[in-house]
Chains A and B, each alone.
Chain A
Amino acid sequence: MDIINLILLIMLAGFACLAVFFKDLLRAALSLAFMSAVLAVLLYRMDSPYAAVFELSVVAGLITVLFVSTIALTKEEDAVRESRWPLYLFPLFLVLFGIIDLLVMKGLFSNPPAGYGNAERSFGATLWGIRSLDLLGQIAVIFGGVFGVLALFREKPLTAQEKLEAEKAKEGGHKLW
């Protein structure tokens, strides 16, 4: 058992707990970014350098930027009031789930690996050859995401009456948007 991998796994779980229990959203988002960075190191250590690069650049980078921008755009005066019971019950549930998890996973993965080996000689051949249809799906998903965001931020031009109402609301100072 590799001790460094175990330390990385413990760090991963620790950052996940911090991301869940930090009240400050910005700190929670940064914990998530650190979690991604630790996961990237772990992936690299498990012979998966391409996945590690994607995890580090896209998830730790791009998704953190998305989170931080959303947090900056949604500054609210009163934070959402969370109930207290999840914080107190969490350790109990975690230990309970951990014991079940330990028993199930040890039983499932105690057999030696089947060892089929990589079918192709390189990652490029696998991605562009065997999984080439996945790439089409990825392109569709990217366009779906882009058009989804565009559709959600679409705004119709204001009429003269609506502009007047918006001005009045601005002067009154009680409407946010």
Chain B
Amino acid sequence: MVAINMIFVGLLFFIGLYCLLSSRNMIKLLIGLEIMAKAAVLSFITAGFHRGETFFSQSLVITFIVVEVSIVAVAMALVINAYKNTGSLDIRSLAKLKG
């Protein structure tokens, strides 16, 4: 059970990483980041379940979710600002920014 969960944690992390490396759309990059975050959440809970410390792992996950929401909110604001400046969601367009 735990080994299977951890195998899927690895797979999810790989899918998110692949999205980050292969995508050019800024929103798609954030989606990749979110998939990696879900792999981390599943990993925390599986580890807690494995050791019988579910309370501890849940408190860590709740902290992690709060951090995740803040990161996504700020990243979305950055994406909208970049779109206002460049008129595109292509990450390569940010290379033209100066100052």
The yes or no verdict on A and B being binding partners is yes
Chain A interface (Cβ within 8 Å of chain B)?
1-2, 5-6, 9, 12-13, 16-17, 19-20, 25, 28-29, 32, 35-36, 39, 42-43, 46-48, 50-51, 54-55, 58-59, 62-63, 66-67, 69-71, 73-74, 76, 79-83, 85-86, 90, 93-94, 97-98, 101-102, 104-106, 108-110, 113-120, 122-123, 125-127, 130-131, 134, 137-138, 141-142, 144-146, 148-149, 152-153, 176-177
Chain A to chain B contacts (Cβ below 8 Å), 21 pairs? A5-B4, A6-B4, A13-B12, A43-B41, A43-B42, A48-B48, A54-B62, A59-B65, A67-B31, A73-B83, A80-B25, A82-B25, A93-B14, A101-B7, A102-B7, A105-B3, A113-B52, A118-B56, A119-B53, A126-B58, A127-B62
A126–B25 CB distance below 8 A: no
Chain A interface secondary structure, helix, strand, loop or mixed? helix
Given A63-B34, A70-B80, A71-B27, also A83-B22 (CB < 8 A): yes
Across-interface contacts of B22 in A (CB, < 8 A):
82-83, 85-86, 90
**Bound-state Cα–Cα, A116 to B56, Å:** 12
Chain B minimum-CB-distance residue to A17: B15
Chain B minimum-CB-distance residue to A50: B58
Could you list 17 further interchain pairs (A-B, Cβ under 8 angstroms) beyond the known A1-B4, A16-B15, A46-B49?
A: A28-B31, A39-B38, A48-B58, A55-B61, A73-B80, A74-B27, A76-B88, A82-B24, A86-B18, A105-B10, A113-B51, A131-B56, A134-B63, A141-B66, A141-B70, A145-B70, A148-B77
Interface residue range, chain B:
35 or more
**Bound-state Cα–Cα, A83 to B25, Å:** 11
Contact with A along B60-89 (1 / 0, CB 8 A): 111101111111111011111101100111
**Bound-state Cα–Cα, A146 to B51, Å:** 36
Chain A minimum-CB-distance residue to B35: A16
Chain B minimum-CB-distance residue to A62: B69
B62–A152 CB distance below 8 A: no
Across-interface contacts of B1 in A (CB, < 8 A):
1-2, 5
B53–A55 CB distance below 8 A: no
Q: Which residue from B12, B27, B90 sits with its C-beta under 8 Å from A70?
A: B27
Rounded to whole Å, the gap between the CB of B68 and the closest CB of chain A is: 7
Contact with A along B33-50 (1 / 0, CB 8 A): 011001001100110111
